[in-house]
Amino acid sequence: MAQTNPGKDSQASEAKKLISLPTSRVRLIMKSSPDVSSINQDALFLTTKATELFVQHLALTSFNNGSGREANSLDYSDLAKTAEETDTFHFLTDILPKKILARDYLESLEQLQDEDADF
Amino acid sequence: MDGDSSTTDASQLGITGEYMASGHYVLQPQDDDGEENMNDHEDGGTKENYREQDIYLPIANVARIMKNAVPQTGKIAKDAKECVQECVSEFISFITSEASERCHQEKRKTINGEDILFAMSTLGFDMYVDPLKLYLQKFREAMKGEKGIAGVAVGESLGEDLTEDSFTNQLPTGIITDGQQQNVMVYTTSYQQFTTIPTVQQIQFS
C-alpha cells in the first residue's frame, strides 16, 4: 500500500497507513449520495476510519449476541438480530431482513393456499 | 433506500400480511452464490448507472477487519462477510447524507471533517467521535510534516498491526504509538476499555 515517492506522495502514503480500507472506494460510495458535490480530505479520512470502527463494532456486537446459540461463530442471522435489537444498528434493518429458504416459503405458501383451495 | 434486489415487498411475494407479521423476509436461494455482489466499479463519473447499494468496499478488507474484531478462535460465515460489506456501504451513505444535509443548510459545498463528526454524533455513533478526533490529529500531522517527523511513527498500517500483534485472547486494539513503541492512545473494539474517554465506558457489549 505504501509508495516511496518523494514529496507529497510520501506524506500521503504515511497518512494512509493509518487506515486499512481504500479511500478511493469510500469516496465513490460517498459521492453516490444525492447532492454531494465535494468532500474534503479530512472528511474522507474520517469516514474511512469510522467505517473501520463500524465494522469492528458491528462484528463484535453481533458475535456476542449470537454466541448463546452458535458458540464462537458469526453468521447472517446474528447480524440481522443485532440490527433489530440494537438502536445504533437499527438503520440496517431494511437491508438485513431475516431469511427463509425458498423451500420453506413455498411450503408455507402451499399451506396457505390449501386453506382456500377447492379441490 | 430499498433492497429490491432481494424481494421483501409482501405484495410481490404474494403472501398475506399475517405471514409477514414477525418481520421482513427475503428468499434465499438453496445454493448461495456469494460472489454476486462483488462489484468492482472503478470509474467515478457515472453515478447514474449504479445505485449506491451496488458499490461496496473490497470484501477482503472488510473480512479482515471483522476477523480481527472477534475472538481469534471465532468463525465468520461467508454470508456474514458479504452482509457486512453491504452494511458498510449503507453506513457510509447514512453518514454522508446527514453530513451533506448539514453542509447544505450552512450553504457550503464541501463536506468537511466537522460535518462528518457531527453526523456521527447525530446518528448514534458518538462513541466513535473521540477516537476519530485523535486519528484525525495523527493524519493531519502525517500530511503536514515532513517524512520521518520525530516522535511520530504512523508506521505500519493499523490493519497490519491488528493481525500481526499477539492479541490471542484479547480483543484487538487500535494503537497509536510513537517511535519508542510507547502507547499513546489505546482503544478497544469492546468499547469498554477506553482509557482516555470516560463517557464511553457506559457502553457495554453484552
Q: Report the Cα A97 to chain-centroid distance in Å.
A: 13
Residue numbers of A between 46 and 105 with CB closer than 8 Å to B: 46-47, 49-64, 72-76, 78-79, 84, 87-88, 91-103, 105
What pLDDT score was predicted for residue B77? 92
What pLDDT score was predicted for residue A41? 94
What pLDDT score was predicted for residue A101? 74
Which residue among A36, A57, A108 places its CB closest to the CB of B19? A108
In the numeric block, which cell numbers belong to residue B153? 511513527
Are B88 and A109 a contacting pair at CB < 8 A?
Answer: no
3.30.70.20, 1.10.3720.10, 3.40.50.300, 1.10.20.10: which CATH number matches A38-118? 1.10.20.10
Tell me which chain A residues have a C-beta less than 8 angstroms from the C-beta of B62: 21, 55
Instruction: Measure in Å the smallest separation between the Cα of B38 and chain A Cα atoms.
Output: 13
Q: Nearest CA to B50 among B93, B97, B91, B87? A: B93
* Nearest-by-CA chain A residue for B145: A11
What pLDDT score was predicted for residue A85? 93
What pLDDT score was predicted for residue A14? 67
Q: Cα–Cα distance between A102 and B32 in angstroms, integer?
A: 11
Tell me which chain A residues have a C-beta less than 8 angstroms from the C-beta of B94: 91
Residues A78 and B83 sit within 8 Å (Cβ to Cβ): no
* Nearest-by-CA chain A residue for B177: A18
| DSSP H or E segment with residue B183 | strand B183-188
Tell me which chain B residues have a C-beta less than 8 angstroms from the C-beta of A27: 44
What pLDDT score was predicted for residue A119? 56
The more confidently predicted of residues B115 and B167 is B115
Lowest-confidence region among A96-105, B119-128, B180-189: B180-189
Please give the ipTM for the structure prediction: 0.78
What pLDDT score was predicted for residue B204? 44
Are A30 and B140 a contacting pair at CB < 8 A?
Answer: no
Residues B61 and A16 sit within 8 Å (Cβ to Cβ): no
Mean pLDDT, rounded, for A12-34? 86
What pLDDT score was predicted for residue B125? 97
What pLDDT score was predicted for residue A98? 73
Mutation choice for A interface testing from B8, B81, B96 by most A CBs within 10 A = B96
The more confidently predicted of residues A92 and B190 is A92
Q: Cα–Cα distance between B160 and B79 in angstroms, integer?
A: 24
Q: What is the DSSP secondary-structure string of chain A?
A: -----STHHHHHHHHHTT--S-HHHHHHHHHTSTT--EE-HHHHHHHHHHHHHHHHHHHHHHHHHHTTTSTTEE-HHHHHHHHHH-GGGGGGTTT-PEEEEHHHHHHHHHHHHHHH---
List, for residues B174-196, the tens digit of each pLDDT value: 444 444 444 444 444 444 444 44
Are A57 and B191 a contacting pair at CB < 8 A?
Answer: yes
When pLDDT is cut at 50, 70 and 90, the band that residue A12 belongs to is: low
List, for residues A68-86, the tens digit of each pLDDT value: 556 688 999 999 999 999 9
> What mean pLDDT is reported for chain B?
67
CB of A1 less than 8 A from some CB of B:
yes
When pLDDT is cut at 50, 70 and 90, the band that residue A97 belongs to is: confident
Q: Cα–Cα distance between B66 and A53 in angstroms, integer?
A: 10
The more confidently predicted of residues A7 and B91 is B91
Residue corresponding to grid cell 453530513:
B99
Q: Cα–Cα distance between B65 and B162 in angstroms, integer?
A: 8
What pLDDT score was predicted for residue A63? 92
Q: Where are the domains positioned within chain A?
A: 38-118
Q: Is the pLDDT of residue B104 over 60?
A: yes
When pLDDT is cut at 50, 70 and 90, the band that residue A114 belongs to is: confident
When pLDDT is cut at 50, 70 and 90, the band that residue B120 belongs to is: very high
Tell me which chain A residues have a C-beta less than 8 angstroms from the C-beta of B188: none
List, for residues B61-80, the tens digit of each pLDDT value: 999 999 999 988 888 999 99
Residues A40 and A25 sit within 8 Å (Cβ to Cβ): no
